[in-house]
Structure 1
Amino acid sequence: MLPQFEYGDEVRLIRNVRNDGTYPGMNTGALLMRRGAVGCVYDVGTYLQDQLIYRVHFLDEGRTIGCREEELILASAPWIPNLFEFRDDVIATRSLAVRGQVLVKRGQLGSIMKVLRDEPELGIQYHVHFGDGLVLQVPEQSLAMADSTAAIEEVLDGI
């Protein structure tokens, strides 16, 4: 089990990291670091003898956390930041249709279920729950944050 990253490497988180109960002073489940944050590896250890854990210092946030290898990429690797996260409330900035049938009207409220970033040529996409069991895959440019008054007014002005 050889580490992919070395001491001093700049790395980027590709997943949100939450407190699993081992970070002092914060509740279990609290968000420790958002995906996209860049930090510096300054220690590598193991957990249960089968997982590499990197101690990464995030200078901008002033926080050091343990990260699994699959949560990190080199900071120099291509990265497109996403605007929304799991459970964020969003509104559709345009009507959304499947096979010509409008399923979501412009301005309708939804909730982010999953961030999809596996196909860079498509850009950031999301699974969005729009109520009544309706979940659609929606490109980022078709959504706005629901708590953004300016975004809501802009969408509603166009209706």
Structure 2
Amino acid sequence: MDLREPLFRWGEKVRAVADLVNDGSHPGWPPEALLAAAGTHGEIVNVGHHGDSNTPVYLVEFDGQMVVGCFEEELARA
């Protein structure tokens, strides 16, 4: 299987297009806690790949304090 090319690159400035809430991947936060509100700006700090769905996954540092794993449909260029 060919890896799908990511839309965003490391270091690119992005913004959340929807509220990003804790899906359980942030154990120090309550379930469904708001991690980054829609419109919050961030920077791509790593680009990975979800093998089963052949989808890029982005680690985004929002406002210099919260790192959140995101899919492309949750982000837009800033």
Structure-2-length-normalised TM-score: 0.86
The reply on whether 1:13 has 2:16 as its aligned counterpart is yes
Query: 2 CA distance for matches of 1:63 and 1:53?
Result: 16
Higher RCO, 1 or 2 (CA under 8 Å, sep at least 6)?
2
SS of equivalent residue, structure 1 residue 40? strand
Aligned sequence identity (%) = 36
Deviations 1:29-63 (A, max 9, x none): 11111000010001011234323210001135x11
Aligned residue number for residue 46 of structure 2: 43
Query: 1 CA distance for matches of 2:74 and 2:31?
Result: 19
Q: Of the candidates 25, 30, 36, which is equivalent to residue 27 of structure 1? A: 30
SS of equivalent residue, structure 1 residue 42? strand
The reply on whether 1:57 has 2:32 as its aligned counterpart is no
Deviations 1:82-131 (A, max 9, x none): xxxxxxxxxxxxxxxxxxxxxxxxxxxxxxxxxxxxxxxxxxxxxxxxxx
Aligned residues: 74
Any runs of at least 4 consecutive aligned residues in structure 1 with deviations exceeding 6 A, and if so which? Answer: none
Structure-1-length-normalised TM-score: 0.44
Unaligned runs of 5+ in 2: none
Whether contact under 8 Å (2:40, 2:63) holds in the other structure is no
Cα RMSD after superposing both structures: 1.2
Query: 2 CA distance for matches of 1:49 and 1:57?
Result: 25
One-letter amino acid matched to 1:35? A
